[in-house]
A and B are shown apart, each in its own frame.
Chain A
């Protein structure tokens, strides 16, 4: 029987922030601009070879409702890569609705920070492998970040690294770390934040916020501890297509899946 060492693939993830039924994109998670039908964007990214899709309802936790169910149901008709759904998930029942409509994983932020036990309850019910903890980090000094909730609107006083460790020990199966400072700016990732997360995360880790050119990914692709990058504005504004990004990255790394 042949046996091969698999490559340590860096997943290229399309992140689609949703408000009502629309794909939107803001800066620093704010000032939201409508871009169109999320299903069309998701299908396009799938056709271009994306490794995964994240849907994030940007107003759900604020308004206490979620508009992802209908979108998910449509997307899984013609998109055959994993889909993570987040925003406004407050209970086992909320999570179950996402799974029933086609989500493979759910991402939790606000509800988990308000009630950390929810992480264990979700992990025990659905398995750690389908529970993503989404951390919204804002810089508050050299090598220090604070966790925010309600899509970057509310501060919590909770240190990001401390929250990372706590959520993993409670059963988080994956971490999505978003730099609020870099989100939507196309100015590159917060490399200090990523380095600190990388040192402390023992579960698969997705970095998000700031991707604006190929060399931004080049800087973090050498870190084997980072498992995925989420891209939003850069692809939504059609700076490059997923297949073009992958082809460029493939010239200096073997971590790209085709």
Chain B
């Protein structure tokens, strides 16, 4: 039986995430309890806010260890936005901060060219071309998701990047698959039907 657990570390749009997952699985709960996290069939780490606050809260609530244990199991785990970034080695948002270091790489600020028409923060819908992977979108179909961020992940191993978009000429890694871990820089819970489809597929892993 599926048991979906959304990690509550005091940051983020937990209500929207819970509602989106509850559309497909009634047995969805929000928790910061070690045993609940350990026994989940699908774990979600959501997040909106700054990296340093996120890591500080995870440690204060002693959630870093259960998340690491879960990451090292073979069960599916999803990181959304800040919840993706926290899995990386470090971030340069407001100083230098260590992350969970479960995926090697950094979180860096996105910079725009001087005469660029692009806007920061990045708020809005972006097209991603998603590579063949264990999440099935129609083959090579253009997929459009909602983003709201100023920082991006830079994995040491580029092969885990399964979807990206261009900002000026910078590729922004947006969809990550690292074995049982799936990471979205965008918000599937805010991306209409295409986002709900991703959530449903994740739950079927």
Contact of B123 among A5, A102, A204 (CB under 8 A): A204
Instruction: Tell me which residues across on chain B come within 8 A of A51, comparing CB atoms.
Output: 125
Given A1-B161, A5-B166, CB of A81 within 8 Å of CB of B146: yes
Which of chain A's residues 95-137 have a Cβ closer than 8 Å to chain B? 99-102, 104-105, 126-130
B20 close to A9 (CB less than 8 A): no
Contact with A along B165-194 (1 / 0, CB 8 A): 110000100000000000000010111110
B189 adjacent to A224 (CB under 8 Å): no
Contact A225 B191 (CB under 8 A): no
When C-beta atoms are compared, the residue in chain B nearest to A173 turns out to be B121
Interface size on B, residues (CB 8 A): 42
Whether, in the assembled complex, B104 has its beta carbon less than 8 Å from a beta carbon of chain A, the answer is no
Cβ contacts under 8 Å, B48 to chain A: 99, 104, 126-127, 130
One digit per residue, 1 when the CB lies within 8 angstroms of any chain B CB and 0 when it does not, for chain A 46-88 equals: 1001010000000000000000000001001110111000000
Beyond A100-B15, A127-B48, A129-B123, whether A3 also contacts B190 by CB under 8 A is no
Q: In the complex, which of the residues B125, B164, B165 has the most CB atoms of chain A within 10 Å of its own CB atom?
A: B125
B101: A residues at CB distance < 8 A: none
Q: In whole angstroms, how far apart are the Cα atoms of A104 and B196 in the complex? A: 17
Contact: B171 with A80, CB < 8 Å? no
CA distance A234 to B189 in the complex (A): 28
Count of inter-chain pairs, beta carbons less than 8 A:
116
B residues 10-53 with Cβ under 8 Å of A?
A: 13, 15-16, 19-20, 48-50
Instruction: Closest B residue to A258 by CB, please name it.
Output: B144
Which of B19, B131, B166 is in CB contact (< 8 Å) with A6?
B166
Q: Which of B137-176 contact A (CB under 8 A)?
A: 140, 142, 144, 146, 148-150, 158, 161, 164-166, 171
In the complex, whether B60 has a CB less than 8 A from a CB of chain A is no
For A2, what are the chain B residues with a Cβ–Cβ distance below 8 Å? 129, 131, 140
Q: A73-B15, A102-B13 are in contact. Are A173 and B123 (CB under 8 A)?
A: yes
Give CA–CA (A77, B23) in the complex, Å. 9
Question: Is there contact, CB below 8 Å, between A174 and B123?
Answer: yes
Nearest chain B residue, comparing its CB with the CB of A227: B124
Is the Cβ of A225 less than 8 Å from the Cβ of B146?
no
Collect the chain B residues with CB atoms within 8 Å of residue A49's CB: 192
- Knowing A1-B158, A9-B125, A102-B16 are in contact, say whether A82-B148 is a contact too (CB < 8 A): yes
Asked whether any CB of chain B lies closer than 8 Å to the CB of A257, the reply is: yes
Report B-chain residues with C-beta under 8 Å of the C-beta of A73: 15
A140 at the interface (CB under 8 A from B): no
B126 within 8 A of A: yes
Q: Supply 24 A–B pairs (Cβ within 8 Å), ascending by A.
A: A3-B164, A6-B125, A6-B165, A8-B117, A11-B124, A51-B125, A82-B146, A82-B190, A99-B13, A99-B48, A100-B15, A102-B16, A126-B48, A127-B50, A127-B150, A129-B122, A129-B148, A129-B149, A174-B121, A203-B119, A203-B120, A204-B121, A204-B124, A257-B125
Measured CB to CB, the residues of B under 8 A from A are 13, 15-16, 19-20, 48-50, 117, 119-129, 131, 140, 142, 144, 146, 148-150, 158, 161, 164-166, 171, 187, 189-193, 195-196
